[in-house]
Amino acid sequence: MPNWIRKVVGFLLLYSALLITACEGVGSAF
Amino acid sequence: MPSEKQYNSASAYKVDKDEQKIKLPLLTGSLLLIFAFKYLATSFFALGRGESFYFLTSALIFSMVIASFLLLRHGTAVEIIYNRSKYAKHSKIPYKTMGAVLLSTASILSAYLGSYSFFASLMLGISILVGWYMYYGFDPYADKIEGYESDKSAQRIMTLLTGANEDITAILGYAKEMNSSTIAPLMKEMALEFQKIVKHIEDEPDDYDKARKYLVSYLGELRDMSETFTKLDANDKRKDVEVDFEETLREGINKLKQQYEKLMDDDILDLDIKLSVMKKRFKNEE
């Protein structure tokens, strides 16, 4: 896998998971 | 940015002195701060509503994300040294991996306390680990000691070279402070001669034994002498020893030049033998 694809996929995976967690995670009811 | 010396585990084998400061990309991991801020805000809201449990957990998650951010930056700095050095020992503390695990745990906690099932939270945590691995990577896990017989000999030689480099830097520093116009350039020249030998050993660790005496005892003693002389020089009391010291330095420089040439000659001899063996083999082929 070329390095840039790896970076893009990694970035999306990491930050989308963080975003999802942050939106619906702890305290989202407030 | 901190200097390299603070990253001891990665700089234990550090011999490349070209880069004195590590320049981390300014934005590395800064997106994590946005998420950290979100949890900080949540904890304030929870406090305002009197929800002490959510206040505490949000504050905990906030600190975990911040810790993960710091670990990522520190680990990246250590990794930069590791990548730049010709020889390097891997960091004993896996900063980046610890950061990844911490961030993943924080997210699992956050998701589970929010509106996700345990399984979904776990999946989110795993995607964070995998994403981190692909984007930031984990820490290097092997020592860079190519060309050495073993881990032990690498350690021995690298310790010597690191010490020698420190001595050389110190001598160059003394030369800069010096007022005496005859001694300062000699000290500098001597340090540069030592540097040539160090460079040679870096390229050919097998020659270590031949240069050991110079790099251990002579260099150390010359460093001590330079220090003492610099002190005398600062107090304007150098006159009595200046001539003797100058002579010693000149002699030292000559000896170092001879030693360096000897190391080079040995290489020529070595190559000469190999060439003649090769010639013989070619002849036998005919």
Residue B6: predicted pLDDT: 33
Residue B7: predicted pLDDT: 34
Contact status of A3 with chain B (Cβ, < 8 Å):
no
Residue B21, beta-bridge partner list: B3
- Quote the minimal CA–CA distance from B142 to chain A in Å: 21
Residue A7: predicted pLDDT: 93
- Locate tokens 């996929």: which residue? A9
- Asked if residues B193 and B253 have their Cβ atoms less than 8 Å apart, the reply is yes
Residue B9: predicted pLDDT: 41
Residue B222: predicted pLDDT: 86
Asked whether the predicted pLDDT for residue B21 surpasses 70, the reply is no
**Residue B85 and residue B154: Cα distance in Å, rounded?**
14
| Residues of chain B by 3-state class (helix, strand, coil), percent to 5 | 80, 0, 20
Q: Which carries the bigger pLDDT value, residue B152 or residue B2?
A: B152
| Shortest CA distance from B37: residue in chain A | A22
Could you give the C-alpha distances from B36 to A11, B51, B63, in angstroms and in order? 17, 19, 8
Residue B3, beta-bridge partner list: B21
Q: What is the pLDDT of residues A4-27, one digit of tens each?
A: 999 999 999 999 999 999 888 887
- Quote the minimal CA–CA distance from A15 to chain B in Å: 8
Burial degree of B279 (CB within 10 A; 0-12, 13-18, 19+): exposed
Could you give the C-alpha distances from B122 to B100, B113, B259, in angstroms and in order? 14, 12, 63
**Residue B182 and residue B241: Cα distance in Å, rounded?**
13
Beta-carbon separation of A22 and B45 below 8 A: no
Asked whether the predicted pLDDT for residue B5 surpasses 70, the reply is no
Residue B16: predicted pLDDT: 44
Q: Which carries the bigger pLDDT value, residue A8 or residue B162?
A: A8
At B261, is the pLDDT very low, low, confident or very high (cuts 50, 70, 90)?
A: confident
Beta-carbon separation of B135 and A7 below 8 A: yes
- In this prediction, residues B128-144 reach a mean pLDDT of 90
**Residue B121 and residue B118: Cα distance in Å, rounded?**
5
- A interface test, pick of B134, B136, B138 with most A CB neighbours within 10 Å: B134
- In this prediction, residues B172-180 reach a mean pLDDT of 84
Lowest mean pLDDT among B54-68, B80-94, B149-163: B149-163
Asked whether the predicted pLDDT for residue A28 surpasses 80, the reply is no
Asked whether the predicted pLDDT for residue B119 surpasses 80, the reply is yes
A7-21 b/e with 16+ CB inside 10 Å = b?
Answer: eeebbebbbebbebb
Mean pLDDT taken over chain B: 82
Q: Which residues of B touch A11 (CB under 8 A)?
A: 131, 134-135
- Quote the minimal CA–CA distance from B18 to chain A in Å: 28
- Quote the minimal CA–CA distance from A2 to chain B in Å: 11
Residues B272, B276, B281, B283: what is their CA dihedral angle, to the nearest 10 degrees? Answer: 140
Q: Which carries the bigger pLDDT value, residue B70 or residue B239?
A: B70
| Shortest CA distance from A2: residue in chain B | B134
Q: DSSP 3-state assignment of B165?
A: helix
Residue B158: predicted pLDDT: 75
- How far is C-alpha B216 from the geometric centre of its chain's CA atoms? 21
Q: What is the pLDDT of residues B205-254, one digit of tens each?
A: 777 777 887 888 888 888 888 888 888 888 877 777 888 888 888 888 88
At B128, is the pLDDT very low, low, confident or very high (cuts 50, 70, 90)?
A: very high
CB pairs under 8 A between A and B: 93
Beta-carbon separation of A26 and B134 below 8 A: no
ipTM above 0.90, yes or no: yes
Residue B13: predicted pLDDT: 46
Q: Looking at this protein, which amino acid is placed at residue B84?
A: R
| Residues of chain A by 3-state class (helix, strand, coil), percent to 5 | 75, 0, 25
- B interface test, pick of A6, A16, A18, A20 with most B CB neighbours within 10 Å: A18
Residue ranges per structural domain of chain B: 4-135, 151-285
Interaxial angle between packed helices B183-203 and B219-234, expressed in degrees from 0 to 180 and rounded to the nearest 10: 160
Among A17, A22, A28, the residue with its CB nearest the CB of B131 is A17
Q: Which carries the bigger pLDDT value, residue B220 or residue A1?
A: B220
